[in-house]
Amino acid sequence: MERLPEFISNHLFLVSLLVSVLMLLIWNLYGSVLSGIKQIIPAELTRLINREDAIVVDVRSDAEFGNNHILGALNIPDADFQSRQQELDKHKDKPVIFYCTSGAVSAKLARTLSSQDFEKIYVLKGGLPSWQNANLPLTKER
């Protein structure tokens, strides 16, 4: 333990790399908690739809939405979100659940919306693949 400062000074690059990786790991694990956006699993999403009349927002592109999406989802692509955000204003008192392919884009948009007086904002943890892995139904645009 007494040689730790010597090791750090001799391997400054490796130690700083280790600290950076640890910080990114902590952000990955606790970033959603710190941002105030709750991530939910597919079973919780289903409960919110059935019991609280939740609004589900698919932020993928129109083409991806047309291939498959959660039944009843509203498609507001990431690229159009700023111009179409007012479509969600009438749902401020309902739970609003965002999902995308991985969960990263939806979390970013949910953080944007959280600063605008929405009461309950959620992100589907793992995105659409988590919904599919739970063997829950999808529908296609016709």
Contact present, 60 and 77 (Cβ < 8 Å)? yes
* Token digits of residue 90: 């009438």
100 is a catalytic site residue: yes
Which residue in 57, 76, 100, 123 is the catalytic one? 100
> Quick one: tokens of 15?
């130690």
Those residues whose C-beta lies under 8 Å from the C-beta of residue 130, and which sit 6 or more positions away, are: 41, 42, 103, 124
Find the Cα–Cα–Cα–Cα dihedral 57, 141, 133, 25, rounded to 10°: -40
Q: Is 43 helix (H, G, I), strand (E, B) or coil?
A: helix
- Token pair listed for 118: 């929405």
- The set of catalytic residues is 100
